[in-house]
Amino acid sequence: MVKISAYQLFAITSMFQLGTTLIFAFGASAGRDAWIAALLSSGLGSVLIGMYTLLQKMHPGQTLVEWFTCEFGRWLGTPLAWLYPLVWIYDAGRGVADLKFLLPSTILPGTPAWILVGSFLLLILYFLFSGIEVICRLGGMIFPVLAALFSIEILLLLSSGMHHFSYLQPVLGEGWGRVWKAVWPLGITQSFGESIELAMIWTLLASPKRLMGINLAATLNAGIVITLFDVLAIIVLGEKIFVREYFPLIQTLKQVSLAEFIENLDVMFVIYLFLSTFFKISLHMYMSVIAVKQLIRIRNPKWLMVLFAAVTFFVGMTMAKNMPEHTTVAFKTLPNFIWLPLFIVLPVLLFLVSLVRRLLAKRRYA
């Protein structure tokens, strides 16, 4: 039987929560106070993930889609459960759209987007055929590479002398209003609420008692990294450029200049872009395949992987005509109308129903 180690779950959870968040800048609408929004979001996100973990403990051996059928019954729980794989495929399509806009405009100008995206999805499809054990092993190998990459980036940026801590002042100069606007609901759902998706594989953890600690540690780790990169982008670029740029990370790395020898570290951006996007799209697709497999009770899901890869390609290539349209949906429409109901409202309702049913069961048998 396939088992996931504590380290592997920590690694894939951390990378999943980071995703492409660093590329687009977390909480940019809060301006120079984006780092405060990141800290607050990670704190509230930890509470949310703690609730997800308690739901798993209330339903041992069951995955996310099985929670709903267990608590709400077949006729109500099944339609609710179907919402999750559908939104994961849509999120995978959003990752494809990120690549469609990022690669031609940054490192591969003039290259047709469909060739780049198609090649990327074929590689992901081959990866998915290997199964969750290989995915988690690769995640465990990639994580230290990304950690080393982040450390080098931070060191080079601080050593280049291009930073100005005065750009962070005045702290909360415009009050808590824009900070909270960045936190709710986008900040909580964007990186942390999405982690409910990983409940599809929590049953495979080799040491289930450590699930809470692993999830909270991964969330804390992701929150610290997001906060650090927000601070670095602000002190290097300044508030106006940080808010205006679609990809502040690449603009920040371009400012690195050490002795006119180490300059324009675009390659670090490229490495992070490929690794993070590859891993997150892979997890979106795999979790959606496993969820549908459980809902329709099929044995061999490989044809579903091929089908979902084709759907992901179509969705990603057609969902937005340009970058402004793509980001408007991501920062305004998606959090309020899709992520908020699926990642907060329904899980809270499920948690309350599960809690009440267990309390009543205890009284009945007391």
pLDDT for position 43: 93
CA distance 45 to 224: 13
Phi/psi of residue 96, each to 5°?
-65, -40
The strand pairing partners of 151, in sequence order, are none
Please give the biggest Cα pair distance in the chain.
75
Which structure tokens are listed for 21? 């968040």
Domains of the chain: 6-365 (1.20.1740.10)
Phi/psi of residue 289, each to 5°?
-65, -45
Residue-level pLDDT, tens digit, the chain, 366 residues: 678 999 999 999 999 998 878 777 788 888 889 899 999 999 999 999 999 999 999 999 999 999 999 999 889 999 999 999 999 999 999 988 888 877 776 666 777 778 888 888 998 998 888 888 888 998 899 899 888 888 887 887 777 777 788 888 888 888 888 899 989 988 899 889 999 999 999 999 988 899 999 999 999 999 999 998 888 888 888 888 888 877 777 777 776 665 555 555 667 777 777 888 888 899 999 999 999 999 998 877 888 999 999 999 999 888 888 877 877 887 788 888 899 999 999 999 999 999 998 888 777 765
Cβ contacts of 253-260, under 8 Å, gap ≥ 24: 253/153, 253/157, 255/157, 255/160, 255/162, 256/156, 256/157, 256/160, 256/162, 257/160, 257/162, 258/156, 258/159, 258/160
With contact defined as beta carbons under 8 Å apart, do 187 and 21 qualify?
no
Q: With H, G, I as helix, E, B as strand and everything else as coil, classify residue 1.
A: coil
